[in-house]
């Protein structure tokens, strides 16, 4: 898969009060085409916007079933409340649950969040923060309090290593046809997708099934530090975001 075009799928904001009907539709589509996404689970959601359905008493059994069939489980923050206006080292937004927060508070959030998932027999090897925003303290907290050394976020063409952490870039919030070799992650939020979005989603994965791989299938033996070319890509990406 090296020097090839590889598609990866990321699903955000799974929690007991998620929109169960939409998530079920997405899951049926993915099972039909044997696509295994990474799914971010919020351990203790306090975000009112994600209180869509009544808490599903079978949610954690569902999450365990995802893990058993090969979906990659990620720790998606702790409570999904973005109280900081710091964009951190990946300033996709000027809001964050983590960036700008003290190391101690971040360690507490990550340690408690991991404990919730582990209590339900989930073993996340990945982390990604709400709003894609985190800082150096987030990386320290992960190293200090967990064995998680993989993050889905930042902008580049391929996974790269920084210190003890391997970053799996997350480039797009919608499907598009990519012509450049690399590992391209498409991030979706099933809770906010409408029927047209879901139908478009299904058509794309049907037409591009062969290009999708799982996070677990990526060979990490050759992961290096961020290349000069990808440093340029990151710089241009954030310049473009700033100017709109």
pLDDT for res 191: 98
Please report whether residue 51 resides in a domain: yes
pLDDT band at 218 (very low <50, low <70, confident <90, very high): very high
Please report whether residue 97 resides in a domain: yes
Q: What tens digit of pLDDT does each residue of 158-175 get?
A: 999 999 999 999 999 999
pTM given for the model: 0.95
pLDDT for res 8: 98
pLDDT for res 244: 60
Angle at 201 between CA 185 and CA 117, to 5 degrees: 55
Specify the pairing of strand 72-75 against strand 38-41.
parallel
Distance CA 78, CA 233 (A): 30
pLDDT for res 60: 98
Neighbours of 111 (CB within 10 A): 14
pLDDT for res 204: 98
Please report whether residue 241 resides in a domain: no
CATH number of domain containing 186: 3.20.20.370
> For residue 15, what are the contacts with CB-CB under 8 A and spacing of at least 6?
41, 42, 45, 50, 59, 80
Task: Give the range of the structural domain holding residue 12, as residue numbers without chain letter.
Answer: 5-155+168-220
> For residue 240, what are the contacts with CB-CB under 8 A and spacing of at least 6?
none
**Whether pLDDT at 118 is above 90:** yes
**26-37 average pLDDT score:** 98
Please report whether residue 201 resides in a domain: yes
Please report whether residue 244 resides in a domain: no
Please report whether residue 82 resides in a domain: yes
Domain count of the fold of the chain: 1
Please report whether residue 236 resides in a domain: no
**Whether pLDDT at 3 is above 80:** no
Q: What are phi and psi of 114, to 5 degrees?
A: -60, -40
Neighbours of 43 (CB within 10 A): 24
Please report whether residue 180 resides in a domain: yes
């Amino acid at each position: 898969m090296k020097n090839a075009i590889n598609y990866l799928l990321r699903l955000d904001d799974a929690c007991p009060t998620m929109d169960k009907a939409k998530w079920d539709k997405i899951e049926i589509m993915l099972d039909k085409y044997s696509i295994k996404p990474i799914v971010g689970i919020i351990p203790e959601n306090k975000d009112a916007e994600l209180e869509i359905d009544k808490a599903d008493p079978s949610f954690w059994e569902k999450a365990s079933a995802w893990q058993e069939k090969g979906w990659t489980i990620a720790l998606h923050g702790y409570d999904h409340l973005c109280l900081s206006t710091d964009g951190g080292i990946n300033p996709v937004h000027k809001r964050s649950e983590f960036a700008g927060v003290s190391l101690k508070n971040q360690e507490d959030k990550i340690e408690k969040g991991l404990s919730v998932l582990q209590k339900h027999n989930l073993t996340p090897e990945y982390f990604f923060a709400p709003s894609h925003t985190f800082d150096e303290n987030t990386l320290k907290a992960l190293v200090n309090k967990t064995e998680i050394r993989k993050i889905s976020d930042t902008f580049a063409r391929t996974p790269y290593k920084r210190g003890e952490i391997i970053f799996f870039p997350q480039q797009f919030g919608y499907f598009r046809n990519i012509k450049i070799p690399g590992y391209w992650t498409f991030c979706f939020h099933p809770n906010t997708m409408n029927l047209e979005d879901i139908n478009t989603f299904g058509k794309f994965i049907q037409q591009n099934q062969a290009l999708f791989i799982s996070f677990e299938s990526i060979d990490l033996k050759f992961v290096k530090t961020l290349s000069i070319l990808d440093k340029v890509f990151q710089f241009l990406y954030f310049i473009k975001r700033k100017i709109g």
